[in-house]
Amino acid sequence: MRERPEVTPHYGAEHEDFRKMVRTFLEREAVPHHDRWEKEGIVDRELWRKAGAAGLLGMDAPTEYGGGGEPDFRYPAVFTEELIRARVTVPGFVAHNDVVSSYLAVRTTPEQRRRWLPGLCSGELVAAIAISEPDAGSNVADIRTTAVRDGDHYVLNGQKVFITNGENADLVLVAARTAPQRGGQGLSLFVVERGTAGFARGNRLEKLGWNASDTCELFFDGCRVPAGNLVGKEHAGMAYLMTGLPRERLSIATVAVAACEQMLEDALDYARRRQAFGQAIGSFQHNRFQLATMDTEVTIARIFLDHCVTQINAGRLSAADAAKAKWWTTELQVEISNRALQLHGGYGYLRESPISREWANSRVQTIYGGTTEIMKEMIGRSLGL
């Protein structure tokens, strides 16, 4: 068994106790149903309610609203790691916990928190964030969805695409343009609730991987959103997004490192068991060197990830370091999936093989949350280039 690198103690006894609870919960409530969810393209709503009852949603939300009141990022990180270990779909929980809930816990008024946070923490409400558009992906400043003030409402018009939890979501955090003449500084954030007139969902999108994670387009056609659903200040949306993106990117990096560790474990197990020419395939020098390289790279990724988690807990994680973690770990995830699938040979190419699912799930990681190219651009600018 490959041991987890521990340059400095990262997880304490309380985190490992939490890990055991999460593992038991997933084995009981998620694993037996996951193949069906993969075929149906969506997770049962009941899982969200059970996750809320188990304390797995809104872990950093204030306790007065039903949250865990625990700002330590290591808890959602453990949840993510155990989702990967159990081979249960991850993006929906990341979007709900590490993106939307974290925005609403700090950017909302007390009245808004009373309206939304209890449901988000209990799983009665599922959340999504809607930023990407058909013509505005990596460049948030190109968003075309508009929100025009009309009395006590804003009228939203536009389209969003690739929205995780788009079908299940009861609350959608929408980025829209409220001051077109101000470019990227003219964006605002709104919560659009299920059933709002003028808000419609497109068909479920079929993806290469993460098939149990419901993804769809969203449409806003004269959608009247109460002014009380504006999050924070008008025109401050870009600043809020830039502040929240490091956490989202660290969450994606957590998925990447956990997936790399799982794929490496799978590859090592297969290399020890699979026989060719009268010996285990792991004993051939080429394969042994490949696995040694993978082990080294995954160890480095884990150490840097743990460093970044320590930094975010201390309030010091920079946008550049979050970008480094995001692009390097996700590109490594794609590379590890390629090498691990190759090692499995024909069996790895079968749809029923766990490594084939990991290969398919890995590819989007370098795209959402900011592409690798955008991450490198951010890092380059941080160097004064």
In this structure, is residue 2 part of a structural domain? no
In this structure, is residue 1 part of a structural domain? no
2 token code pair: 């490959």
Active site residue 193: no
Which residue, of 233, 254, 284, is where some domain finishes? 233
Write the CA distances from 317 to 73, 213, 304, 365, integer angstroms: 12, 29, 12, 20
In this structure, is residue 86 part of a structural domain? yes
5 token code pair: 């690198």
Which uninterrupted H or E stretch holds 215?
strand 215-226
- Entry field: residues in the chain: 385
CB 130 within 8 A of CB 218: yes
In this structure, is residue 76 part of a structural domain? yes
| 207 shares a domain with 120 | no
Residue found under tokens 């069996």: 347
What is the CATH number for 348? 1.20.140.10
242-276 pLDDT, tens digit per residue, is: 999 999 999 999 999 999 999 999 999 999 999 99
What is the CATH number for 75? 1.10.540.10
Question: Containing domain of residue 307, as a range?
Answer: 236-381
What SS3 state is found at 305? helix
- pLDDT at residue number 9: 64
Mean pLDDT of the chain: 95
Provide the number of structural domains found in the chain: 3
294-330 pLDDT, tens digit per residue, is: 999 999 999 999 999 999 999 999 999 999 999 999 9
- pLDDT at residue number 184: 76
- Among 38, 82, 167, 248, the active-site one is 248
In this structure, is residue 104 part of a structural domain? yes
- pLDDT at residue number 75: 97
Q: Is residue 10's pLDDT more than 90?
A: no
| 118 shares a domain with 94 | yes
CB 53 within 8 A of CB 174: no
| 229 shares a domain with 240 | no
Q: Is residue 6's pLDDT more than 80?
A: no
In this structure, is residue 6 part of a structural domain? no
Half-sphere exposure of 149 (CA within 13 A, CB side): 11
Rg (CA), the chain: 21
Which residue, of 193, 214, 233, is where some domain finishes? 233
| 167 shares a domain with 146 | yes
Half-sphere exposure of 115 (CA within 13 A, CB side): 14
